[in-house]
Structure 1
Amino acid sequence: MAVKRFIGREAELARMKAALRGDAVGVVLAGQFGIGKSKLAQAFVDWAESNRYATQWALATRSTATVPFGALASVDTSLDNLVLRVDDAHLLDEASAELLYELAMGHTAFVVLTVQRGVPAPDMVTKLITHERMVVVDVPALSQPEVDRLLADELDGHVDTVTMARIATVCGGNPLFISELLTAGREFGALRMSHSGWTWTGPLRVNTRLTELVGLRLADLSEEQLTVTRLLALGEPLDVKLLRRLTSVETVDEMLGRELIVVDQSGETTLAHPVYAEVIASQIGPVRKRMLLRKLAEALAATGARRRDDALRLAIWRLESGPSAADDGASRELVDGARRARALFDHHAVERLTRASLTCGGGFLATVLLGDALYWQGRHAEAAEVLRLEPPRQATSEELMEWATVCSSNDFWGFADLERAENVLRVAESRLAACPERERVTAHRASLQAFAGLIGDAVATAEGMLESATDDEARLRALSVAVPAWAHNGRPAYAAEVGEQGMARFGHLLEVRPLLIGELVAGQAFACLWAGQTDTALQLATTGYQHVVQARDHDLRGIWATLLGRIELARGQVESARRHLREAVSLLRPNNREGFLSWALSGLAVAAASVRDLAEATAAITQAQQHSRAPARIFDSDLALAVAWIAAQSGELTRARRLAMACADDAEYPLPEMLALHCALRCGADCGPRLAHAATKVDGRFATVLVKQALGQDCAAEFGAMGLFLYAAETATQARKPQAAKDWLARCEGANSPILRRNTALTSREQEIAELTAHGLAAREVAAKLELSTRTVTNHLASVYSKLGVTGREALRTLL
């Protein structure tokens, strides 16, 4: 599959053009195999031709290298203003290399060379490349945005986020490898169009063409050098000292000199490109693979396996190198590896290691870890079966805590049974004396209460732990629950402040409990948003999102993308929100982790409706209702308001107001009530006094400004200062300040709302009938929706036509 168009490289191309206009004798494009050097050279030559330069092209190969002047034999050097492009100049024969040097130094031709890094070149080519009047242009891997553009271009459509990340990781920004991997995916039927775009299912597989391409790069390696590549393909990254002990110092240094392997600042060694590992590993036979893995495991064990990920690597290598003795040592090794895999959210690895541990006498902790792995994979019935027995009498405090946490989570999220989950926690508490593990079990109860929508109970439990707990981890767990719960309970400003203090207090737990720290930061971002500190909220969410992207944790990335999209949505940045929420939906769909899929889908529905994409909005809200998980009542209000907003954007303002007011009536806590009333106000409800009263029960700048809006005051500048640009545009519109409204709306990425569409020449009833008519409804359909007679609708519509100076439905649709 050929790359369809030139992606990126604008800066490199600009340097080449400047070199031709200046006093340089040529440029050399240096980079990895397949990185796009030839394509960049061709783009430059095309530009040169369009600027009246003569051009010639030569390709050096291993075959032409055996013939004097073989590569340059057909080049016409008599042309004026000659630009000579030579691909793979490192493969030139000596005579061609000398001629090339003379052409450049004699100004007969401006030479454009492509060379592959780490490959020896003839002396005259090296002399030319290093000449002070040659411009060396390093051609790097494509950036992530450029990879995204390339994938979208090659596949002619949206690419699932997980698929995009997997391809980018394996191909490392190499355009040729990306193109060939996509071809392989289609050949094997692994790359298919799904509801979330192009999706790769199953393992990434390489085809014959990709294997041949990598084979060209790895040609002429000795057996010792091939052993280095095989060890790295199976075990990278490897400590360079360990690799040298397994092979030899000389061999590793030779590979580094040829740039076939790289070593980072910490001494970790990898193959020069991720796809090399895929190709090389696919060619290692099962017997040799077991032998090499056993060699790796023994060498790592001899070092003491002291680094953070060594326990996992050692366990995996032991498991894959073949049967081992069924003893306590082997079981402990596998459990230690499973615990590290769990910390990295690699639930499939946890399952493999714990099942293997249980076959060689693994204890109760292995059983709990297996149940946890099944729970996170959404296999709740299997997890329940594994965890069905209560802990043995000799279970440690840690094992009791782990069992209670996993079992109660599975009961709550898998079977929507809060009562049974609470019973599990009580059993554990009754068997645990006063200790850190008991405090952590109680803090977990607060988390389940919060997700169940029992905000008051969650606050009481969390605050009790914050006052009495002595264990920092238990206090951190409690605080990560308390911060968003306080926000729901009308104290977002207080929650944001305490959350910031908590980060300073518990930051030392980041290495050992990154998930809990992440939950606290997410809660703080949520509190900051509704306290009116939206810049801080956006910064926190962006940082959290970027962290999980780098960690390649797709489950957590889905949650952070949801939070980031929700914050962008509140700020009026609806297209940015739609992009992140689509990503979140794609990531969360497989497991619906902690019920966040419904929250992501309802947010996507609001974002789509805000740009009047009612087809996507309707599809998203339907899916949100289907995926709404019974125990997660905390998201119910957002789901209901999304339905109301879609109604408003569809022109059904009466229904929208009714739905939003019902949501406010059902709200049990101050923040959801205030947000529901604000939605109703934006849909035209006469609820200003009630909103003003509700906002007084919520602290923070946002609530203070809402009071002013509810009382009819112009507070557009204050909304804008908080980063709430759509609200600012709406308020400026109501204040009849069209230029200010236009300025704020320019920052809203095409957002639309009932207030912005409101025509002051029409009554509210006329406006609604006009919008429904513009959406294509006949008079009788409008009458049915609004519970009016068809005659009344027709009369109102005649008044609309008269006031707006239009004569029919098409003109009305165009105007609105």
Structure 2
Amino acid sequence: MSMPTHVVVTISTTSLCDAKTLRAPWPFTGRTDELELVRRSVAAGRGGLVVTGPAGCGKTRLLMEAVRGTDWARAAGTPETRHLPFAAFAHLLPHDVTLHRALHLLSGVRLLLVDDAHLLDDASAALVHQLALHGRTRLLVAATDGAPAPGAVSRLWSGELLPRLTLEPLPREETAELLAAAEDTVLEPLTADRLHRLCRGDLRLLRELLTAVRDQGLLVPVQGTGRQAWRGGVPMTAAVRERTAHVLDRARPGERESLERLAFAEPLPLGLDAFDTRTLEGLEADGLVTVDEAGATRLAHPLHGPVLRAAAGRLRARRLARTWDQCAPALEAERTALAR
């Protein structure tokens, strides 16, 4: 059987529903300037654009909004298939295809969205690089900042083949606007601020956390305001566990104990006997703790404390927790932060 000379794939953005839950997506809020920039890049017929940013900051959603109403094809990298050649393009290419043949077959695709490009297998990464070099296919590429990426992917922007747009986490004000537009529940400002602080711009985590808070009955009415407030601990959802696995699964001796001590009484002085200096140095190097000029040691991410406390268990929590008079520095720091 002869192989077709070209593969033309047309996909329309008819639905953006979550494949796992069939939930309708939240409204697209914020990123107005970035959305216009991506749309101009597509409309101008240029080579394309690379969008990078932290995990969960909305890179994919931004690109899908930009191509809404147009014809496009999509490829995506996954951790499980990084060892399989052309795995990201398996739905577009025949089996045992060569790089040269793959490039030829995809020449009919005019707009290609490549999601999670940092997870591409080497062959798929090389194909994307060659498509950028040839310039016949417009590319919209999303990759996560700080994640190891194949050289062929990082050279898309470092070699100036494609311009790069770096997304910052969604600011607090725009997060509050998103929460107000997305939910039928009106949240009080402190609850919206708490969600933003815990999620730090990770919109997937934000949605799952708010859904869990609501479903578990942790939202209570604020009298006389018509608003809801979140009171209580952080629900240990699958997304929360996934985002904090690198904290809960510390392998080196003493690290989990040090993190838990901070979780129950941060900030703590650097010279505390309960801490091993080398252990703290390792945690600081991994970005899990911070030490200020006064020597006060804190957990680096506000989500880690609630998660460590929730996972400690009742007896361990009783051993690690301190009485109010032993937590004077932490209480004063909290008071100052709230006042500010």
How far the C-alpha of 1:225 sits from its partner, in A, is 9.8
Secondary structure, counterpart of 1:71 in structure 2: helix
Could you tell me which amino acid in structure 2 is paired with residue 74 of structure 1?
H
Q: Partner of 1:91 in structure 2?
A: 119
User: 1:282-332 CA deviation, whole Å, 9 max, x = no partner?
Assistant: 2234555567x5xxxxxxxxxxxxxxxxxxxxxxx6439xxxxxxxxxxxx
Q: Partner of 1:112 in structure 2?
A: 140
Q: 2:58 matched to 1:36?
A: yes
Q: 2:187 matched to 1:155?
A: no
The correspondence of residues 209-608 of structure 1 with structure 2, limited to 5 A, is 209-215=238-244, 222-223=251-252, 227=256, 230=260, 233-234=263-264, 245-247=277-279, 249=281, 252-253=284-285, 255-256=286-287, 273-286=301-314, 293=320, 318-319=322-323, 334=325, 337-338=327-328, 341=331, 346=335, 551-553=337-339
Q: Which runs of 5+ in 2 are unaligned?
A: 1-22, 94-104
User: 1:139-178 CA deviation, whole Å, 9 max, x = no partner?
Assistant: 2222222122112122225322332232233223332222
Q: 2:78 matched to 1:61?
A: yes
Residue pair 1:60, 1:92 contacting (<8 A) in 2 also: yes
Could you tell me which amino acid in structure 1 is paired with residue 279 of structure 2?
T
TM-score under structure 2 normalisation? 0.72
**Alpha-carbon spacing, 1:186–1:73, altered in 2? closer, same or farther (3 Å):** same
**More strand, by proportion:** 2
Q: Partner of 1:808 in structure 2?
A: none
Secondary structure, counterpart of 2:130 in structure 1: helix
User: 1:198-236 CA deviation, whole Å, 9 max, x = no partner?
Assistant: 323531322423334425676986446963765664555
Q: Partner of 1:188 in structure 2?
A: 216
Q: 2:142 matched to 1:138?
A: no
Larger Rg: 1
**Alpha-carbon spacing, 1:285–1:220, altered in 2? closer, same or farther (3 Å):** closer
Residue pair 1:152, 1:159 contacting (<8 A) in 2 also: yes
Q: Which runs of 5+ in 1 are unaligned?
A: 294-316, 321-333, 347-547, 558-816
How far the C-alpha of 1:339 sits from its partner, in A, is 8.5
Secondary structure, counterpart of 1:66 in structure 2: coil
User: 1:732-754 CA deviation, whole Å, 9 max, x = no partner?
Assistant: xxxxxxxxxxxxxxxxxxxxxxx
How far the C-alpha of 1:59 sits from its partner, in A, is 2.2
Secondary structure, counterpart of 2:139 in structure 1: strand
TM-score under structure 1 normalisation? 0.33
Secondary structure, counterpart of 1:125 in structure 2: helix
What number of residue pairs does the alignment pair up? 303
In 2, the alpha carbon distance for the partners of 1:240 and 1:68 equals 49
How far the C-alpha of 1:127 sits from its partner, in A, is 2.4
In 1, the alpha carbon distance for the partners of 2:271 and 2:68 equals 48
**Alpha-carbon spacing, 1:290–1:39, altered in 2? closer, same or farther (3 Å):** same
Residue pair 2:248, 2:308 contacting (<8 A) in 1 also: no
**Alpha-carbon spacing, 1:166–1:130, altered in 2? closer, same or farther (3 Å):** same
**Alpha-carbon spacing, 1:31–1:344, altered in 2? closer, same or farther (3 Å):** same
Secondary structure, counterpart of 1:137 in structure 2: strand
User: 1:528-564 CA deviation, whole Å, 9 max, x = no partner?
Assistant: xxxxxxxxxxxxxxxxxxxx9xx334xxx9xxxxxxx
How far the C-alpha of 1:8 sits from its partner, in A, is 0.5
Residue pair 2:255, 2:283 contacting (<8 A) in 1 also: no
**Alpha-carbon spacing, 1:288–1:15, altered in 2? closer, same or farther (3 Å):** farther
In 2, the alpha carbon distance for the partners of 1:205 and 1:265 equals 30
RMSD: 3.9
How far the C-alpha of 1:6 sits from its partner, in A, is 0.6
Q: 2:28 matched to 1:6?
A: yes
The correspondence of residues 739-754 of structure 1 with structure 2, limited to 5 A, is none
Residue pair 2:262, 2:305 contacting (<8 A) in 1 also: yes
Residue pair 2:268, 2:329 contacting (<8 A) in 1 also: no
How far the C-alpha of 1:89 sits from its partner, in A, is 1.5
Q: 2:226 matched to 1:197?
A: yes
**More helix, by proportion:** 1
Q: Percent same amino acid among aligned pairs?
A: 29
In 2, the alpha carbon distance for the partners of 1:273 and 1:339 equals 19
In 1, the alpha carbon distance for the partners of 2:113 and 2:166 equals 17
